[in-house]
Structure 1
Amino acid sequence: MASFINVLSRLTPPPFAAPEEYDGLEYRWKLFVFRPAYFKNEVFLLGALLFYVVFFFVGQSINAKKAEKWVSGYRDLLKRQFSSPDVNGLVRDGHSDFFTFSTGRRNVESLHTIFRLKPYHDLAQTVFLTVWSLVDLQYSPKNELQLDFKLFSSALPHDFVWAVVAKDELKNIKDSRWDLTFTKASENSNLPPNMSIMSELADVTEALFKSTAILDALKDPKIAPYFRSLSVTDQPRERPSKLSTPEKHVILSLVCPSSSHVDDLNGLVSALFPFIDSLTKVSLRPETKTKLKKVRETFEKTLKVEAEQTKKEELEQAREDQKAARRKVEEERVSKLSAAEQQKILERERKRSIRKSQGKSVRKV
C-alpha cells in the first residue's frame, strides 16, 4: 500500500506556486485566484476558435438563405407547371450543396434544381479560393445554380446537342461538359453580343429559334450577370465508358443571384416551359438527320471497340492473377518440403528452362 501511495505521489503534478511579486489584475473567489496576465496565449487561441465557429455558422446561414430565397421565389411558378412541385422541399447535401425535385408535367419527366454554392462556411477553403483567384486570373469561383429538365423521349423527336453560352464561359465549358464537344461555337445575330451558339449543325439552330419566347428572354439585359448556358442535349455530360440509352435534357446553368435579385431571372425561367413544349415540333432536314445519326453511330462504334479492348485487358489480367495465385500456392507447398526435395524441384525447373531455350533456338534457325 505504501508503494502504491508513493507511485501516486510521483505522478501528481506539483501545486502551482504564484510568484509573490505579481502586481497585475487578478480576480479572487474564496480559494480560487485568476490572473489574466498568465493566459495571454490562451486568449488569442480562444478568440481564433470563436471566430472560426462564428464564421462557420454565418457562412452556413448565408448559403441556406440564398437557396431558400430562390425556392420560395419560384414556388408559385413550379406549382403552376408541375403537379408535384418541390417534392420533399429543399434538400441539403452538406453546407454548400442543395437541391429540389419536381415532377408531374407534360413533356418533362423531372426537374432537378441544383445549387452548388461557394463554401462560405469553411474558412480554409474560402481563403484558398480567394488567394487562388488572385493567382489564376482565369479562375473565378461562382455560386452555381442549375435547372436540369429531364425530358420524356417523345418530347424531343431528334438527337442533337445545342447550346447558347455566355462568351466568358466558352474557354472552360468543354472541359466540364463533354456533350458540348460535339458542337462548334459560332456567332448569331439573334443573340446579344455577349452570347454565342454551340451547335452541331446550323439547321438545328434555325429550327430551335422558331420559339420567339426564349429569344426574347435571352435578350433581357437583367439576365446578363447570371446567365452561363442554356443547352438541349441527348448526350451525357461526362464521357460514357459503355453504351447506354440516351437521355434528353434541357439544362439552364446560372450564377445564383443574391436574395434581392431573384426576380431578375423570372422571365427566362418562365420562357423555358413553352420552349420545352415547342421541341416536339422541331423539324430538321433529311440531310441534317443523316449527319447527326452518322456522328452517333461513329461514336457508338468507338465505344464498342473500347469496351472490347477493356474486356480483353480484364481477361488477361484475370489470367495473370490466376497464374500468380497458382505460383504462390506452389511456393508455399515447396517451402514445406525438405531441403533435398526442394533441390530436386529446382534442378527439374532448371532443366525445363534449358529445354525451352534450346527449342526456341532451333525454331529460329
Structure 2
Amino acid sequence: MANNPLTRFLASLTPPPFINPEEYDGLEFRWRWFVFRPALFETEVYLLSALVGYILFFLWGRWTNNRKAEKWVLAHSPVLETQFSKPRRWTKDGYTDFFNFSTGRRNVASLHTIFTLRPRHDFLQWAFQTGRTFIDLQYRPVDDLQLDFKLFPGTLPHDFVWAVVSKDELLSVKTDRWDLTWTKTSENSALPPKFSVMSEFGDVTDGILRAFPLAKLLEDPKIAPYFRSLTVTDQPRERPLKPLEANEREKHVILSLSVPPPSHAGDTAEFVAALFPFIDSLSKIALRPETKIKLKKVREENDKDIKREAEREKKEEEAEALEAKKAAKRRAEEERIAKLSAADQKKALERERKRSIRKSQNKIAK
C-alpha cells in the first residue's frame, strides 16, 4: 500500500508535523494560555506578505483606473452635455473597461466613448505586459480611449476611408483596423511632421483639408502626446463575412487617444470639442468625378471578393459536413456487419466489393 503512486503523491503534499522546540530564546508573546512565537512562522509570514501585497496592488490598480476615467469624464462632460441632448451615465465593465453612449445631435446618430485601460488591478497581467515590452520592442501597451461617432445618413455624402495617424502607431494600426488596409500611407506638408496620412486617393485628403482647418488643431502641443489616430470611414473595422446590405452600411468618425494622466485630463477637451464642427464640415467635401468612379469601383471589387470567399467557405463547410456524414454511415455499416455471423459477414463484404467495382466502372465510362 505504501508503494501506491497516489499514496506517495498525497504524502508529498502533506506538510511535515510541527515540532515545538523545548528551548526557545526568540521573540515571544504571551497572554494567558496563548503563546505566539513569530520565529516559528517564517514561511507563513512570507506567504501572508505576498497576499497582502497582491491585495494592495489590486486596490491601487482599481483606484488608478477609476481615477483616470473619472477625471477625463469630468473634464469633458461640459463638451458632451453642450453637444448632445441625451448624454448618458457612464458605466463600467470590470476594472479596465468604461463606456458611455450619447445621442441627440445634428449629423451624429450616436457617440460611443470606450475606455480600455491596462489591467493594473491584476498583477500577473500587468507584469506580463510590462515584461513583454522588454522582449518585443514594437509592443506598447497603452490606456486606449475610442470616441466612435456614428454619422447620420447624408452627413458624409461620399464613400471613402481616410485617416491621419501618429507615426508611432503606423506599425500596428493596419493590424488592428481592416478598413485602414484600404489606404496608402503618405506624408502631407500641410500637417505637422509627427503625423502621416492614410488615404485611398490624394483627392480625398485635399477635400478634407480644404473643408476644415484640421492642421491647425493638430499643431496644438497639448494633443500631441495623446493623439493616436482620427479616421473617417465607410467600412467596418473588421472584415465582414459577407457583403453588407445597403441598410447595414454605416459611416463613422473615430478618434483614438491615449488616456491622459489625471493631472492633464483636460488637455484633450479642446480637440474633442473641435470634432463636432469637423463632422459638420464633411458635407462640404468636394471630390473629382473620376475619384468618385474609382472609389465606387474599389467597393464593388471588394464586395465581389468577399462574396467569392464566403461562397468558397460555404462549399468547404458543406463538403466537410458531407464527408462527416459518409464517415458516420461507414462506421454504422461496419458496426452492423461486425454483429453478423461469419457467413453473413462474408456475404456483406462480397456485396460491398461488387458495389465498389460497379462504381469504379461507372466513373471510367463517364
Q: Which amino acid aligns with 1:100?
A: N
- Of 262, 265, 277, the match for 1:274: 277
1:139 match? 139
- Of 55, 58, 62, the match for 1:56: 58
1:35 match? 37
Change (3 A) 1:362 1:136: closer
1:221 match? 221
Change (3 A) 1:212 1:303: closer
Q: Is the CA contact 1:63–1:117 (under 8 Å) kept in the aligned structure 2?
A: yes
Q: Which moved more, 1:27-36 or 1:61-70?
A: 27-36
How many Å apart are 1:298 and its aligned residue? Answer: 0.6
Q: Which amino acid aligns with 2:203?
A: D
SS of 2:90's equivalent in the other structure is strand
CA deviation digits over 1:18-56, x for unaligned, max 9?
Answer: 322222222223333221111000000000010001101
Q: Which moved more, 1:58-67 or 1:301-310?
A: 301-310
Mapped partners of 1:16, 1:325: distance in 2: 61
Q: Is the CA contact 2:191–2:218 (under 8 Å) kept in the aligned structure 1?
A: yes
Change (3 A) 1:356 1:37: same
CA deviation digits over 1:84-141, x for unaligned, max 9?
Answer: 11x2x22112211111111111111110111111111111122122221122222111
2:344 match? 341
Mapped partners of 2:252, 2:239: distance in 1: 16
1:92 match? 92
Q: Which amino acid aligns with 1:218?
A: L
Q: How does 1:70-219 map to 2 (within 5 A)?
A: 70-85=72-87, 87=88, 89-219=89-219
Mapped partners of 1:27, 1:254: distance in 2: 56
2:237 match? 237
Mapped partners of 1:324, 1:279: distance in 2: 58
- Of 256, 268, 273, the match for 1:253: 256
Mapped partners of 2:199, 2:102: distance in 1: 28
Q: Which moved more, 1:324-333 or 1:253-262?
A: 324-333
1:67 match? 69
Q: Which amino acid aligns with 1:54?
A: L
Counting matched residue pairs gives 349
How many Å apart are 1:319 and its aligned residue? Answer: 1.7
CA deviation digits over 1:33-82, x for unaligned, max 9?
Answer: 22111100000000001000110111011001101111111111111100
How much identity, in percent, do the aligned residues show?
62
How many Å apart are 1:190 and its aligned residue? Answer: 1.4
Change (3 A) 1:267 1:41: same
1:46 match? 48
- Of 295, 304, 309, the match for 1:306: 309
Q: Which moved more, 1:325-334 or 1:38-47?
A: 325-334
Q: Which moved more, 1:25-34 or 1:130-139?
A: 25-34
Mapped partners of 1:282, 1:46: distance in 2: 64
How many Å apart are 1:225 and its aligned residue? Answer: 0.6
How many Å apart are 1:15 and its aligned residue? Answer: 9.4
Q: Is the CA contact 2:192–2:215 (under 8 Å) kept in the aligned structure 1?
A: no
Q: Which amino acid aligns with 1:92?
A: K
Q: Which amino acid aligns with 1:291?
A: K
Q: Is the CA contact 1:164–1:195 (under 8 Å) kept in the aligned structure 2?
A: yes
How many Å apart are 1:258 and its aligned residue? Answer: 0.6
How many Å apart are 1:213 and its aligned residue? Answer: 4.3
TM-score, with length taken from structure 1: 0.90
Q: Which moved more, 1:329-338 or 1:204-213?
A: 329-338
1:6 match? none
CA deviation digits over 1:207-229, x for unaligned, max 9?
Answer: 11124443321111111111111
Mapped partners of 2:116, 2:171: distance in 1: 20
Q: Which moved more, 1:89-98 or 1:266-275?
A: 89-98
Q: Is the CA contact 1:234–1:248 (under 8 Å) kept in the aligned structure 2?
A: yes
Q: Is the CA contact 1:147–1:252 (under 8 Å) kept in the aligned structure 2?
A: yes
Mapped partners of 1:218, 1:95: distance in 2: 32
SS of 2:222's equivalent in the other structure is helix
Change (3 A) 1:350 1:84: same
Mapped partners of 1:322, 1:300: distance in 2: 33
Mapped partners of 1:361, 1:320: distance in 2: 19
Q: Is the CA contact 2:231–2:254 (under 8 Å) kept in the aligned structure 1?
A: yes
